[in-house]
Amino acid sequence: MTPKQVLEMAKEKKIKVVDVRFMDFPGVWQHFTVPIGEVEEASFDEGFGFDGSSIRGWQPINASDMMVVPDPSTAKIDPFFKEPTLVLIGNIVDPITREAYTRDPRNIAIKAEAYLKSTGIGDTAYFGPEAEFFIFDDVRFESSTNSAFYMVDSVEGIWNSGRDECPNLGYKTRHKEGYVPVPPTDKYQDMRTEMLLTLEELGITVERQHHEVATAGQAEIDMRFKSLVEMGDQLVWFKYVLKNVATRHNCSVTFMPKPLFGDNGSGMHTHVSLWKQGKPLFAGDKYAGISQDALYGIGGILHHCKALCALTNPTTNSYKRLVPGFEAPVNLAYSSRNRSAAIRIPMYSMSPKAKRLEFRTPDPSCNGYLAFSAILMAILDGIEKKMDPGDPLDKDIYSLPPEELANVPTAPGSLSESLKSLEEDCEFLFKGDVFTKDVIEKWIAYKTENEIHPVTLRPHPHEFFLYYDI
């Protein structure tokens, strides 16, 4: 869509205001709204000014002025605002040099796609994330000098089997038994369908929705694969839609990887394939029907996985899910059909077009633009350097004896560990100027100062249970 077509659509739809949106550094959508009269064709070149020092991880106060330039191809009508509102996603530029801002996550994704083409390996990278989430009926938390607690609740939660609900009708989801039951055990079918239909109305193709394994409303809605930048855009719309539909129902959606103790966490299994001139590059005659390049790509992910986790699993809470011996795929191995491996080769279809890698370690707390870009860079590095992934591991990794499991490397056990790995292994991200040194340095500093240190310094509520009477 061109700027002229966007303005024609705005007139046709009787748009009154335009919402300009962009992604901050950690991965939360930001916005401001201007009257439709303030938007003209020149706005798509000149952009709009804003305070970059008030955005997390961006500019210092002495260099705060930044510009956001709307991308006309992203135009959509917001499904939630009272007044007819056109939404445009923008790219961040320096107001003086007009250069693309290095810490703009969407700019990084654009550069990753350009780098793929420059290598000659392929021209398109498709991504299909399966972002799991929880729907809660009540959420409360506090963290202060002398107290800390959290409490989440759901009508589905098995802990409510004895609650007086006037009446309590039962049908509570037992721990780890929530995968695809029908109502009345599944309490959120209609809400998830409303989410699905809202996404479809926005032009986002959805393949399915269903209840997930955990109790208390864990769910999954799968989008059809798209190219890297387009999927980055869709993932922010996805989170926005799900949160706002849930709010309509007086519920709350969270993409925290591990909001519940003792049940499954939320992952974001990410399907990836490379194509060139309309042909799939990951189909071949090697293991599980994949190509040699696909194997090298697997080698790249496994080789760089510890560093990747700093971007694909970027919260301290991420590592409550990535614990050896539980449901998360922390073991750095690959296999066909095997969901206990970090990389799975899906076998639902033998069509060459369906051949892809499924990287199962990431979680939905990530910034999609950054995570997808980093995964692509690891795959390309593996192909360029012909990284051998070794033999597949076609066993239930969780049931391996200790002496055999000791030979299987694992994902990092903490955000600190993953950031250290990123610091030591980031050269592959610098190719093509996709990620820059200031991006990696700022990411590590921001996460350390704003997340790791605050969590480390605070007493944990369970420590009172363990140690108060010492």
Residues with catalytic annotation? 51, 130, 132, 212, 220, 269, 339, 358, 360
3-state secondary structure the chain: CCHHHHHHHHHHCCCCEEEEEEECCCCCEEEEEEEHHHCCCCHHHHCEEEEHHHCCCCCCHHHCEEEEEECHHHCEECCCCCCCEEEEEEEEECCCCCCECCCCHHHHHHHHHHHHHHHCCCCEEEEEEEEEEEEECEEEEEECCCCEEEEEECCCEHHHCCCCCCCCCCCCECCCCCCCCCCCCCCCHHHHHHHHHHHHHCCCCEEEEEECCCCCCEEEEEECCEEHHHHHHHHHHHHHHHHHHHHHCCCEEECCCCCCCCCCCCCEEEEEEEEECCEECCECCCHHHECHHHHHHHHHHHHHHHHHHHHHCCCCCHHHHCCCCCCCCCECCEEECCCCCCEEECCCCCCHHHCCEEECCCCCCCCHHHHHHHHHHHHHHHHHCCCCCCCCCCCCHHHCCHHHHCCCCECCCCHHHHHHHHHHCCHHHHHHHCCCHHHHHHHHHHHHHHHHHHHHHCCCHHHHHHHCCC
